[in-house]
Copies of this chain bind each other. A is one copy, B any other.
Amino acid sequence: MMRRESADLVLSASWIIPVEPAGSILEGHAIAIRDGTIAALGPAAEIDSGHAPKERVHLDGHALVPGFVNAHTHAAMTLFRGLADDLPLDAWLAEHIWPAEARFVDAAFVGAGTRLAVAEMLRGGTTCFNDMYFFPDVVGEVARPAGMRAVLGLIVLEVPTVWAPDRASYFARGLEVHDAFRGDDLVATALAPHAPYTVGDEAFERIRGLSESLDLPVHVHLHETEHEIEEAVRETGERPLARLDRLGLVNPRLAAVHMTHLLAEEIDKLAARGASVLHCPESNLKLASGVCPVPRLVAAGVNVALGTDGAASNNDLDMLGEMRTAALLGKLEARDATANPAERMLRMATLGGARSLGLGNRIGSLVPGKSADAAAIDLRGPDTQPVYDAVSQIVYAATRSHVREVWVAGRRVVRDGVLETLDAEEAVREAGEWRARIR
């Protein structure tokens, strides 16, 4: 008789979409999970007969996908969701967001805003987020008990804020956060210089050195608007990407957010250097920043990830909506209905994100050896029927509310649409208190 492997969970669904290999949609398959890791993936009968799991779950009419990686957000800004919409980027920042931040942001704000964001993201199938905000230690302390993966941005700015009074302090506090989470299973860190227009060469040089010695991603807003590039050229004669290249930062650890204005040679350089682009289509549209040329980046071989940006400029943290917008916008940008196909958007929202954060060997696809981070999307309702192609249905028809079950490292964090690891009602109550103060 065949030896049965132990397993914590055997999980099957009508469709399993592993993302690797590309284009694969598996029917009648299952995965076995042991110690938080995918131990096996195969035909359900084989997985069943080969394992003696503690628990079996079958999700009829559901599609199982890798948990989404939200590659760029400012989680705590959920507390500003809808505070100031339909405004130009400069007025939005200078007259609304920055004053509100100066007045209200502290550790408690970040805790409350991040709890609300984590509740929204986990509920919508996002299992990992790459954050950039003040008090990244607080972000980590919220994510960890909620069972959510986070990459904490060790923010660097050259202006004093409630987080740090000067450049040296930003680095010192950032490195404290890095040390505090070193070796954590769920929480990692990235260097997060805010943007070329708020960070000087000296700081960027130190960031390059730390990035190399600590093997950390460099998460930076870059080429968000035409105005940013024009100003840089006017003041320094250099485009921001060229400047980062001169400083040695355009390499596989670069995770460059937005990139809405790119020359052909810049696309080639990003590809040649192995840098990643973090695409935030809804934020770029809402602030009229421009359009990231995703089809051309992909054609050149650049790794592209997908992010929502903060809820103040989106206004949700919804990777399903973001995939759809990215697909539609790419077709417009390329004037080609075959551009940004559904399968590629799902890959961007999962494996693309993982790779951009240096986590490509641990998460982003459902393959044996990787962490069991997965989301199940219920396609049985009238608005997602009939199903000819489960990936098409997920990208073009489903909403975040169709996500019903979520696991991170094998731990079930959402069960039938309800969060198991965070008190969502308490997060909403807290957010209401902040609103009363901020309004």
Contact = CB atoms under 8 A, between A and B. Distances in A.
Interface of A: 78-79, 81-83, 85-89, 92, 116, 119-120, 123-124, 282, 285-288, 291, 311, 314-318, 321, 324-325, 327-329, 331-332, 334-339, 341-342, 380-383, 385-389, 392-393, 396-397, 399-402, 424, 427-428, 431-432, 434-435, 438-439
Contact of A325 (B328, B385, B397, B399): B328
A83 B388 contact: yes
Contacts of A427: 382
Nearest to A337: B288
Contacts of A337: 86-89, 92, 286-288
Contacts of A291: 332
21 contacts: A78-B385, A81-B385, A82-B388, A82-B393, A82-B397, A83-B388, A83-B389, A85-B341, A85-B389, A86-B338, A86-B392, A87-B338, A92-B337, A119-B382, A282-B328, A285-B332, A314-B397, A325-B325, A385-B428, A386-B435, A387-B435
A317 B385 contact: no
B336 A385 contact: no
Contacts of A381: 424, 428
Nearest to A393: B82
A123 B384 CA distance: 13
Contact of A387 (B82, B288, B342, B399): B82
Contacts of A88: 336-338
Contact of A315 (B392, B431, B439): B392
B434 A331 contact: no
Contacts of A317: 383
B387 A316 contact: no
Nearest to A320: B399
A315 B434 contact: no
A182 B392 CA distance: 40
- Among A123, A331, A341, max chain B CB count under 10 A is at A331
Nearest to A281: B328
A110 to B, nearest CB: 15
Contacts of A83: 388-389
A383 B120 contact: yes
Nearest to A286: B328
A399 B396 contact: no
Contact of A86 (B285, B342, B388): B342
Given A325-B325, A399-B401, A86 B286 contact: no
B397 A316 contact: yes
B396 A82 contact: yes
A81 B386 contact: yes
B400 A383 contact: yes
A432 B86 contact: no
A321 B398 CA distance: 11
A386 B315 contact: no
A62 to B, nearest CB: 14
A428 B382 contact: yes
Nearest to A401: B401
Given A82-B392, A286-B396, A393-B82, A116 B382 contact: yes
